[in-house]
């Protein structure tokens, strides 16, 4: 993806264009009035990944034009990223440039920052790294006050943590999240806070229990637990499940269970077609699931999962791809209607759109 052209004077025009596009795409489903949630116009990305280009003794961050592996341009600034990343990324690159052990066959630098001030930098290599790399990287850790991870094929070295702790303020309450390097987290923290607050409001009057697919590190799970008797959530990534378990304990929440299962596996468990020891300790038979939360990848929901979620009274659907969401709604709206409709501008100055819907089952 090419670097967005950050121009705060054009922000409202571009946001209006996204709103118009969404209204046209979903008009056939007769949604209610769209709720619009804005992003900061600069320094809004907490995660950023940059390719590194070697040219003689030069070392630069580059971006490639969409669809091209050759048409690149050098970065000299990056106003889209969190202020701490923006302030250190070029001095950090200059420091890498002067250390052969750190720059040799380096091809990418990833940054993960938090609103709470922590910063983790990952260096990705096309060669094996070893203890010599650790000794070369340690002075940079001290110089910039960061944690550093080095990764190459089947190899990972950590100075001194491979995670950060983020604090999001949700309706004036702080929630603390372990965010692990190379695992998914919402990139725009300020918009993420708004998304969670919207989800809490959308489910405020719901009864029974909540079941969640694709829960990640518990980003929505933990704040939403206040609206339900109990919550059972699933996630396939081991790192995300481990982080979610830490986050449950760190936030003092006692009505959430996390299961490491894919959406397909969990659907089969709920339908009685699969038995697995991964559900040990969770009494699914006692659960009264009336609301389901899904936050799928860009491909959307598979048909098996769609059929499963159609069985619940309320569906909270968070989507990072309006096109696959619209495809899913062709089936979901056979049984449900849209009650809430929101656009979250996670990615200003790009065509990417994040949205949220609350669907309620039609009366028989």
> Looking at the annotation, which residues are catalytic?
320, 354
191 three-state secondary structure: helix
CA 38/CA 44 separation, integer angstroms: 11
Q: Work out the angle at residue 203's Cα, subtended by the Cα atoms of residues 335 and 336, and round it to the nearest 5 degrees.
A: 5
Question: Which of 167, 262, 275, 273 is closest to 223 using CA atoms?
Answer: 167
The dihedrals phi and psi of 55, each to the nearest 5 degrees, come to: -140, 95
CA 358/CA 136 separation, integer angstroms: 51
95 three-state secondary structure: helix
CA 29/CA 23 separation, integer angstroms: 10
* Partners of 227 in beta bridges: none
CA distances (Å), 109 to each of 157, 163, 195, 204, in order? 14, 15, 28, 41
What DSSP element (H or E) covers 263? helix 263-270
CA 73/CA 163 separation, integer angstroms: 30
52 three-state secondary structure: strand
CA 228/CA 256 separation, integer angstroms: 10
């Amino acid at each position: 993806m090419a670097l967005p052209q950050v121009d705060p004077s054009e922000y409202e025009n571009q946001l209006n264009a996204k709103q118009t596009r969404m209204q046209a795409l979903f008009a056939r489903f007769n949604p209610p009035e769209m709720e619009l949630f804005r992003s900061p116009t600069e320094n809004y990305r907490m995660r950023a990944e940059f390719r590194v280009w070697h040219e003689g003794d030069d070392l630069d961050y580059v971006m490639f034009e969409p669809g091209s592996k050759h048409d690149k341009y050098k970065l000299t600034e990056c106003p889209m990223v969190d202020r701490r990343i923006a302030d250190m990324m070029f001095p950090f690159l200059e420091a890498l440039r002067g250390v052969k052990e750190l720059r040799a066959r380096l091809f990418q630098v990833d940054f993960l920052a938090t609103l709470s001030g922590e910063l983790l930098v990952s260096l990705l290599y096309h060669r094996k790294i070893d203890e010599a790399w650790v000794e070369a990287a340690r002075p940079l850790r001290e110089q910039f006050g960061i944690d550093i991870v080095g990764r190459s094929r089947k190899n990972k070295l950590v100075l001194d943590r491979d995670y950060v702790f983020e604090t999001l303020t949700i309706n004036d309450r702080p929630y603390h999240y372990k965010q692990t390097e190379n695992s998914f987290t919402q990139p725009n923290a300020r918009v993420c806070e708004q998304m969670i607050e919207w989800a809490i409001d959308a489910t405020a009057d719901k009864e029974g229990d909540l079941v969640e697919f694709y829960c990640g590190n518990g980003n929505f799970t933990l704040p939403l637990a206040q609206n339900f008797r109990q919550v059972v959530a699933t996630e396939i990534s081991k790192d995300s499940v481990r982080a979610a378990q830490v986050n449950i304990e760190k936030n003092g929440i006692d009505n959430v269970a996390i299961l490491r299962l894919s959406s397909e596996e969990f659907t089969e468990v709920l339908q009685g077609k699969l038995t697995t020891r991964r559900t040990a300790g969770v009494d699914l038979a006692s659960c009264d699931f009336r609301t389901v939360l899904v936050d799928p990848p860009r491909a959307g929901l598979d048909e098996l999962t769609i059929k499963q979620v159609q069985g619940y009274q309320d569906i909270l659907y968070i989507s990072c791809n309006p096109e696959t969401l619209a495809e899913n709604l062709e089936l979901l709206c056979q049984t449900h209607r849209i009650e809430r409709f929101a656009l979250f501008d996670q990615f200003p100055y790009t065509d990417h759109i994040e949205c949220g819907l609350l669907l309620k089952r039609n009366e028989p």
